[in-house]
């Protein structure tokens, strides 16, 4: 139990750390990408930067939403509220965010393979989370029934 | 629609035993016994039913009945 609490706290800290990191990237990514492609002397850097930036800014709201939802789930875990309706809803919205990122990256990544790989990964994560939502929903019903078993 | 009703309050009144005392004798919390008494429980363990019958000196049929849901009101 102690170890679970420690891991949950670490995950929460990491999630909260990622929010300002994402905000920082939202402002600095264009400059960082220009510098990166300058150093690597990549061919057609301007087009690549454009594609990456489009994908990033389209996915950015989903990224923030996902981090906030994750923080809510972790806070519930810290309070030992596992099979509650809020967690089910958060996971559902997390899967929608992942699917959205997958579709967005696929749409912008047709000409840039790494974005397509990110798209496939995000779609797979979205699918996994959908299965998890079904599982959690059933677990919640069982937990509710158990809590009302005298 | 017919449902299973728990007539715990009737048996408690007959035996003149309070909720708190019955709960401690049966070995469950007052909150859980209250859930049972108010027909909010989803299930009852045999061990709990056995303990209730022992303390209230009755049969399971005295505690449980199968009636129309309207009779809850």
CA distance B41 to A98: 39
CA distance A54 to A105: 9
The reply to whether B6 falls in a domain is yes
User: How confident is the model at residue A148, as a pLDDT?
Assistant: 85
With beta carbons under 8 A apart, name residues in chain A contacting B42: 144-145, 148-149
User: How confident is the model at residue B1, as a pLDDT?
Assistant: 84
- Return the half-sphere exposure (C-beta side, CA atoms, 13 A cut-off) of residue A45: 13
Enter the tokens of residue A145.
């029934």
Per-residue pLDDT tens, chain B, 73 aa: give them. Answer: 888 999 999 999 999 999 999 999 999 999 999 999 999 998 999 999 999 999 999 999 999 999 887 655 4
The reply to whether B40 falls in a domain is yes
Q: Does A148 touch chain B (CB under 8 A)?
A: yes
Provide the domain count of chain B.
Answer: 1
Contact (CB<8Å) A149/B41: yes
- ipTM for the predicted complex: 0.74
**Looking at CA atoms only, how far is residue B14 from chain A in angstroms?**
22
**Looking at CA atoms only, how far is residue A2 from chain B in angstroms?**
27
User: How confident is the model at residue B72, as a pLDDT?
Assistant: 52
User: How confident is the model at residue B73, as a pLDDT?
Assistant: 45
CA distance B62 to A31: 79
The reply to whether B72 falls in a domain is no
The reply to whether B71 falls in a domain is no
Largest pairwise CA distance in chain A: 70
The reply to whether B37 falls in a domain is yes
Residues whose CB falls within 8 Å of the CB of residue A105, separated by 6 or more in sequence, listed in order: A55, A59, A115, A116, A118, A119, A122
The reply to whether B26 falls in a domain is yes
Q: Domain holding B33: CATH number?
A: 1.10.260.40
The reply to whether B28 falls in a domain is yes
Signed CA dihedral, B19, B21, B25, B27: sign only: positive
The reply to whether B13 falls in a domain is yes
Q: Tell me the residue range of the domain where B10 lies.
A: 2-63
Q: Average pLDDT across each block of 10 residues of chain A; the chain has 150 residues. List them in order.
A: 84 93 92 86 78 91 95 92 92 96 87 85 95 94 87
């Amino acid at each position: 139990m102690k170890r679970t609490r420690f891991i949950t706290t670490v995950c929460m800290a990491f999630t909260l750390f990622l929010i300002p990191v994402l905000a920082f990237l939202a402002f600095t990514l264009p400059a960082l990408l220009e510098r990166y492609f300058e150093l690597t002397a990549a061919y057609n850097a301007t087009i690549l930067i454009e594609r990456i930036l489009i994908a990033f800014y389209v996915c950015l709201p989903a990224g923030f939403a996902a981090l906030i939802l994750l923080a809510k789930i972790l806070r519930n875990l810290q309070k030992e509220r596992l099979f509650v309706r809020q967690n089910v809803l958060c996971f559902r919205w997390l899967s929608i965010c992942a699917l959205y990122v997958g579709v967005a990256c696929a749409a912008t990544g047709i000409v840039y393979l790494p974005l397509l790989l990110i798209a496939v990964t995000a779609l797979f994560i979205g699918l996994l989370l959908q299965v998890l939502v079904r599982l959690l929903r059933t677990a919640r019903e069982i937990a509710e029934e158990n809590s009302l078993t005298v | 629609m017919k449902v299973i009703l728990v007539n715990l309050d009737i048996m408690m009144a007959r035996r003149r035993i309070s909720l708190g005392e019955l709960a401690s004798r049966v070995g469950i919390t007052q909150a859980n016994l209250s859930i049972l008494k108010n027909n909010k429980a989803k299930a009852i363990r045999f061990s709990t039913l056995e303990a209730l019958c022992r303390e209230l000196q009755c049969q399971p049929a005295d505690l449980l009945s199968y009636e129309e849901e309207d009779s809850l009101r």
